[in-house]
Amino acid sequence: MTTSDYRKVFKQLKSKPIKLKKYLKHNKPKKRNTGIAKKKCQRCGRARGHIDKYGLDICRHCFRDISTKIGFKKYN
Ligand SMILES: [Zn+2]
């Protein structure tokens, strides 16, 4: 199961209502108010590699793509 959406399994469990009920009881993710699990990339939705610094709110992959466009410069 990916972290992107836990509801992907519903399609498979549609024919097994009791298993679906059990799945929801034990595997449904908690609603988060704070913390690292709530942060997602604003550009692509990735949960990992998040950059909050300078108010960017994007992941490291998107940062690599758009860093030069938003004014960052790479020093070698
Ligand atoms: Zn991203």
pLDDT digits (tens, 9 = 90+) for 13-43: 889 999 999 999 988 888 889 888 889 999 9
Measured in Å, residue 20 CA sits from the centre of ligand 1 at: 31
pLDDT digits (tens, 9 = 90+) for 42-66: 999 888 899 999 999 999 999 999 9
Measured in Å, residue 13 CA sits from the centre of ligand 1 at: 30
Give pLDDT, residue 44. 92
Measured in Å, residue 72 CA sits from the centre of ligand 1 at: 17
- The pTM score is 0.63
Distance CA 24, CA 22 (A): 5
Measured in Å, residue 22 CA sits from the centre of ligand 1 at: 33
Sequence-distant (6+) residues with CB within 8 A of 20 are 10, 13, 14
